[in-house]
Structure 1
Amino acid sequence: MSNLTINLEPRSIAACANPDLPSDLAQAFMQKTLQHQVDVYKAAETNDIILDLAPTGTGKTKAGLSVLRHNSQSNAVYIAPTNALIAQQTEAADKFVRDAGLPHIVKAASAKHIKRWRGDRVGKRSGEKLYNVLREPATIFPECGGGQPILLVTNPDIFYYATFFDYNRLDRSNIASEFYNSFATVIFDEFHLYDAKQLVSLFFYLALSQEFGYFQYNRKVVLLTATPEPACEAALRTLEYSGVKIAHIDGESKTDHLISSQTAVRLEIRKQLDRDALIADIANEVVHRLKNYPDQNGAVILDAKDILNRLSDELRARGLENSCGRITGSTPLNQRQKSAQKQVILATSTVDVGFNFEREVEPERQNLDWLIFSSRDRFAFWQRLGRVGRVLGKPKTDVPSQAIAYLPEQAWEQGIENLDGFGGREALKQMLESLDCMNRSFLEIYWCSEAFLEIAKPLLEFETFLEGLPNEYLVIKVYQTLQNILNGKRGWDYYRRRIKVLKGAEDIARKTVKEIQKNWKYVKGGQSFVMSYLRAYCPEDFDEIKSGRTSIKDIEQMIQKDKELAQDIQEYAVIIKESYAPLFRFRDSLFNSLKIYDPHNLLLDEVGETNLDPIHLLRFYEFETDGERIEVTSRAEPPYNLAFSLLVDDLEEFKNTLLCKLYAFENCSIKRMHGDVVRPTPSVIEKQLIPGVIVAETAKNRWAIARLRKQGLECYPIFVSSYESPAPKQYTFFPSLSGILAIAAAGVALKCPDEEDFWVI
Structure 2
Amino acid sequence: MKHYTVKGESLKKDPFSPYLYHQKRTLFELNKNSVVFNTYPTGAGKTISSLLYLKENMNIDTLFIAPTNELLRQHAEDIKEFVKKSDLPHIVVKIDASVIQKIRGDHRKGATLYEVLSNPLQFKRELCIDELEYEGKRPIIVVVNPDIFYYCFYSLYGNNDKGNLMNIIIKKFDYIVIDEFHYYNAKQLTNFLFFMIISKEFNYFEHGRKICILTATPDELVENYLKLGGIEYKVISNENEDLESASYESLKTLSELDLYVTNASIEEVLCEKYKNNELENDCLVISQSIYRVNKLKEQLLKDGFNKENIGVITGAIKSEERKRSVKKPLILATPTVDIGYNFKKEDKKGQNIDEVITEANTCDQALQRLGRAGRILGKSIQHERSKVILCVTDGVYEAFEEEAREISRLELKSIIKKAMPERNIMKRYIKSNGILELCFPISEMYRKMANQNKFVIEELFNMVISVFAPKSKQNFKWLLSRINKYKKQCIFIDKYTSSSEKEEVVQNIDNNLFIDFYKSYSQDEDEEDEEIIDDSMLDDFSEDEIKILKLDVKEEMIHYINSEIAKTKSLLNFRGSDINAPALIFDKYYKFGQEYQIFVYDIFHLIRYYDIEWCESKKDFEKAAKVDLSDYEQEINGVENIDVFIIVNGIRENAIEITWEYGFYGTQSRFEEKYINKVEAIDNLTLVGYEYTSIGREGIALPEKITKAFKESYIPIYTIPKDPKEEYMIRKKIKNQPIFIQKLKVQFSDSESDYLVIIGTNSIIVDSEMVKIQNDIIKEESFIR
- Could you tell me the TM-score, scaled by structure 1's length? 0.87
Q: Does residue 352 in structure 1 map to residue 368 in structure 2?
A: no
Contact persistence 2:609–2:655 (CA under 8 A) = yes
- The aligned residue for residue 574 of structure 1 is 562
For residue 575 of structure 1, give the secondary structure of its aligned residue in structure 2: helix
Shift of 1:502: 2.8
C-alpha distance in 1, partners of 2:727/2:468? 34
Contact persistence 2:615–2:647 (CA under 8 A) = no
Contact persistence 1:14–1:251 (CA under 8 A) = no
C-alpha distance in 1, partners of 2:459/2:37? 27
- The aligned residue for residue 679 of structure 1 is 699
- The aligned residue for residue 762 of structure 2 is 738
Q: Does residue 10 in structure 1 map to residue 26 in structure 2?
A: no
- The aligned residue for residue 181 of structure 2 is 191
Structure 2: runs of 5+ lacking an equivalent: 126-130, 497-501, 524-528, 618-644, 776-785
Deviations 1:466-524 (A, max 9, x none): 25132532343344245424656233435334333333333333222457447644xxx
In the TM superposition, what are the counterparts of 1:2-401 in structure 2 within 5 Å?
Answer: 3-19=1-17, 32-69=18-55, 71-118=57-104, 124-141=107-124, 145-239=135-229, 242=230, 244-251=231-238, 253=241, 254-255=245-246, 256-271=248-263, 273=265, 278-287=266-275, 291=278, 294=280, 296-320=281-305, 321-359=307-345, 361-401=346-386
- The aligned residue for residue 721 of structure 1 is 747
Q: Which amino acid counterpart does residue 451 of structure 1 have in structure 2?
A: G
For residue 232 of structure 1, give the secondary structure of its aligned residue in structure 2: helix
C-alpha distance in 2, partners of 1:696/1:419? 46
For residue 247 of structure 1, give the secondary structure of its aligned residue in structure 2: strand
Deviations 1:421-474 (A, max 9, x none): 644433332233335x52122432222232112111111111111251325323
Contact persistence 2:562–2:714 (CA under 8 A) = no
Deviations 1:622-669 (A, max 9, x none): 111122331011212211222111122334443332333312221112
Contact persistence 1:136–1:146 (CA under 8 A) = no
Residue 445 to residue 599, structure 1, CA distance change in 2 (3 Å) = same
- The aligned residue for residue 756 of structure 1 is none
Residue 678 to residue 693, structure 1, CA distance change in 2 (3 Å) = farther
Could you tell me which of 537, 545, 556 is aligned with 2:534?
A: 545
C-alpha distance in 1, partners of 2:471/2:402? 38
Deviations 1:519-558 (A, max 9, x none): 644xxxx84x444323312468993535x57549978972
- The aligned residue for residue 606 of structure 2 is 617
Could you tell me which of 592, 604, 608 is aligned with 1:603?
A: 592
C-alpha distance in 1, partners of 2:270/2:714? 41
Contact persistence 2:570–2:760 (CA under 8 A) = yes
Q: Does residue 648 in structure 1 map to residue 664 in structure 2?
A: yes
Contact persistence 2:38–2:214 (CA under 8 A) = yes
For residue 214 of structure 1, give the secondary structure of its aligned residue in structure 2: coil
Q: Does residue 696 in structure 1 map to residue 721 in structure 2?
A: yes
Residue 607 to residue 442, structure 1, CA distance change in 2 (3 Å) = closer
- The aligned residue for residue 511 of structure 1 is 495
Shift of 1:259: 0.5
Contact persistence 1:162–1:175 (CA under 8 A) = yes
Shift of 1:700: 4.2
Residue 644 to residue 748, structure 1, CA distance change in 2 (3 Å) = farther
Deviations 1:549-579 (A, max 9, x none): 7549978972487334455433322111112
State the superposition RMSD in angstroms: 2.8
C-alpha distance in 2, partners of 1:705/1:736? 16
Residue 165 to residue 287, structure 1, CA distance change in 2 (3 Å) = farther
C-alpha distance in 2, partners of 1:387/1:649? 55
C-alpha distance in 2, partners of 1:98/1:648? 64
- The aligned residue for residue 664 of structure 1 is 681
| Worse overlay, 590-599 or 550-559 | 550-559
For residue 260 of structure 1, give the secondary structure of its aligned residue in structure 2: strand
Q: Which amino acid counterpart does residue 688 of structure 2 have in structure 1?
A: K
Shift of 1:696: 1.3
Structure 1: runs of 5+ lacking an equivalent: 20-31, 752-761
C-alpha distance in 2, partners of 1:420/1:532? 68
Residue 520 to residue 138, structure 1, CA distance change in 2 (3 Å) = farther
Deviations 1:690-711 (A, max 9, x none): 2211121225424214435644
For residue 38 of structure 1, give the secondary structure of its aligned residue in structure 2: helix
Contact persistence 1:74–1:150 (CA under 8 A) = yes
C-alpha distance in 2, partners of 1:177/1:339? 41
Shift of 1:61: 1.1
Contact persistence 1:662–1:693 (CA under 8 A) = yes
Shift of 1:748: 7.5
C-alpha distance in 2, partners of 1:84/1:479? 38
C-alpha distance in 1, partners of 2:33/2:543? 55
C-alpha distance in 2, partners of 1:418/1:553? 79
Residue 287 to residue 210, structure 1, CA distance change in 2 (3 Å) = farther
Q: Which amino acid counterpart does residue 389 of structure 1 have in structure 2?
A: G
Q: Does residue 472 in structure 1 map to residue 455 in structure 2?
A: yes
| Worse overlay, 465-474 or 630-639 | 465-474
C-alpha distance in 2, partners of 1:705/1:135? 47
C-alpha distance in 1, partners of 2:452/2:531? 34
| Worse overlay, 676-685 or 439-448 | 676-685
Q: Which amino acid counterpart does residue 704 of structure 1 have in structure 2?
A: M
C-alpha distance in 2, partners of 1:196/1:372? 29
C-alpha distance in 1, partners of 2:761/2:264? 27
- The aligned residue for residue 463 of structure 1 is 446
- The aligned residue for residue 558 of structure 1 is 546
Contact persistence 1:575–1:663 (CA under 8 A) = yes
- The aligned residue for residue 427 of structure 2 is 444
Deviations 1:584-616 (A, max 9, x none): 111133113211110111112135112222221
Contact persistence 1:645–1:671 (CA under 8 A) = yes
Contact persistence 1:204–1:482 (CA under 8 A) = no
For residue 329 of structure 1, give the secondary structure of its aligned residue in structure 2: coil
For residue 583 of structure 1, give the secondary structure of its aligned residue in structure 2: coil
Residue 706 to residue 179, structure 1, CA distance change in 2 (3 Å) = closer
For residue 451 of structure 2, give the secondary structure of its aligned residue in structure 1: coil
> What is the aligned residue count?
713
Deviations 1:73-116 (A, max 9, x none): 33221111200121221122122223323222111101001111
Contact persistence 1:132–1:140 (CA under 8 A) = no
Shift of 1:69: 4.3
Shift of 1:64: 1.1
C-alpha distance in 1, partners of 2:494/2:760? 22
| Worse overlay, 466-475 or 43-52 | 466-475
C-alpha distance in 1, partners of 2:543/2:149? 41
Residue 478 to residue 43, structure 1, CA distance change in 2 (3 Å) = farther
Could you tell me which of 652, 665, 679 is aligned with 1:636?
A: 652
Contact persistence 2:40–2:238 (CA under 8 A) = yes
Shift of 1:267: 0.4
C-alpha distance in 1, partners of 2:185/2:521? 36
